[in-house]
Structures are given as structure tokens and as C-alpha cells.
Amino acid sequence: MSELVSERTSYHGVHYVPGMSDEQAARAARLDLPVLVAVLLTVPSLALHSADPDGALGVVSLVLNWSIWLTFLGETVLMLRLCPDDRAYVRHNKLDLVLLVVTPPFLPGVLQVLWILRLLRILDLLPVLGKVFRVNGFRYAATLAFLAVFGGGLAFAELESDQDGVNNGFDGVWWAWVTITTTGYGDLFPRTTEGRVLGMILMGIGPVLIGMIAGTATVLAERRIEAEVGVATAGIAGKVDEVEREVDEIEAQVGDVTAGVGSLRAVDEAILSALDGISKRLERLEKGTTE
């Protein structure tokens, strides 16, 4: 039973820790959706903060920022209460705890770029995302690409905010897109050391992400073709079976006709034999009368 609970409630070990009872595992699984929503809200939170950090949108971003972080904090507190072994939880969730510590909503100045790291929680929650939205392998790869473009773009906008031409988060996303796709228009480029390190990272992972997307798309296309070929083959096989049945029926009918013809031939031979006997008797009678 515990194996079934483990299989049902765990995704990369985030909300299931070995040693949990069935009840503890079920309660831990209830954290899946709230945490997933909090992680997804990171996207609009970062976008609003980049667009208008000091205006009304910045206030909305601040509220979202605190809500997201408090959700992560509440998740950690509840999981520590549910887990029979706190060290086991820490061992299985190092990334979550690190992100909780380094991405509080009260970070000053340039350190606010660390909020982007919250998007890494999507990697941990991909299995849950798959259960909710039926995500397949192609969408997994696309999700990773989105994280790189969006997260890298917002990080670039923060790190290069003093540069002419970098006015908002969209400019950063544009730079990240042309960098990852190896287009490199050259209209924007990093001038700070941190920005150049970010550019090196994106240039390194760009071909990998493109290869992942192309590879998964190829696999999906091959599976679809195999499925269509399988359906067509099954249809042809069904028609072949039908033709074989018809041939068997025709052979049976021919056999019946042949058997009938054989019976008629035997009757004809019997009649001819009887007629021959009658003819011979008549001949004998005629000879006797003549004598």
C-alpha cells in the first residue's frame, strides 16, 4: 500500500518523503496545486516589477512577491511537521530550501534579480504540471526553453538597466531570445560582468534546448506516424482476413459442387449399367423366341 501511495503522491520527491504514513502522504499531496500556482505567478510578478517597479503595477508585483514567498515558507513549515525525519526532507529538497533563503521579497537593489531563480521550482513541479495539463515530452522541453528566455531576459534587464536601449523586461526577453537561438542581431549586448556571464550561460544552453525541442518533436512525429501505419496495417490485415474467408467459402462451395457432380456420375453409371443389363436380357429373349 505504501508503494502505491508513494507512486501516487510523489513528484521528484518534493511532497513525499520516504517513511511517511498514508495520511501524511495524502496531506503532503494537497500542497501540489497551491505551490504550482505560486510558481506560475512568479512570471507575472517579475513582469510587473520590471514594467513599473515604483507605480501601481509595482504594488501588485510586491503583493504577488510576498504571496509567492509566504507560500514557499508555509510549504516548508508544513512539510517539516509532516515528515517523520526532518533531515530526510532537507536531503530531498535542497533546491527548495536554497530558493526560500535566497529569494525573499525584501531583497535590496541588484539582488532582486535573484527572484528569477524561483522559476527553477517549475523543474521540480513538471510532473505535477504534466498531471494537471497533460504535458508531454515536447512541452517539457518547451517549458525549459521558456524558463531560459523569460528568466534570462528579466535577469538581463535588471543587470543592464543602466544601458541605453534596455527600457523594460521585454527588451531583456528579446535579447535572451536572439542569444539562445544564436541569431545575435547585436542591437543589445551585455556590458557588465554579470551580464556577460549570463550571456555565456544562455549561449551554452541555447543549442542544447533547441536540440531537445527538435529531438522530442521528432520522436512525437515518429510515434504519430507509427500509430497511423499501425492503424492502416490493421485495416489491411482485416481486409486480407475477409478475403481469405471468402476464398475459403468459395473453396467449400466448389467442393460441394464437385461432390454433387461425383454423385450424379455414379447415378448415371448405375442407370447405364441397368440399361445395359436390360438390353442384354432383351437380346436373350429375342434369341429364345427365334429358336
Taking residue 158's Cβ as centre, other Cβ atoms within 10 Å add up to 25
pLDDT(141) > 90 = no
Q: What is the pLDDT of residue 259?
A: 66
Cβ–Cβ < 8 Å for 8, 29: yes
pLDDT tens-digit readout, 84-112:
888 888 888 888 899 999 999 998 877 88
How does DSSP classify residue 206? H
What SS3 class is residue 201?
helix
Q: What is the pLDDT of residue 5?
A: 36
pLDDT(148) > 70 = yes
- Which residue, among 16, 155, 171, 149, has the nearest Cα to 84 in the 3D structure? 16
Residue-range domain boundaries for the chain: 1-134
pLDDT tens-digit readout, 218-251:
877 888 888 888 787 877 877 777 777 877 777 7
Grid cell locating 216 = 522530442
Cβ–Cβ < 8 Å for 194, 175: no
pLDDT tens-digit readout, 22-46:
888 888 888 888 888 898 888 888 8
pLDDT(135) > 80 = no
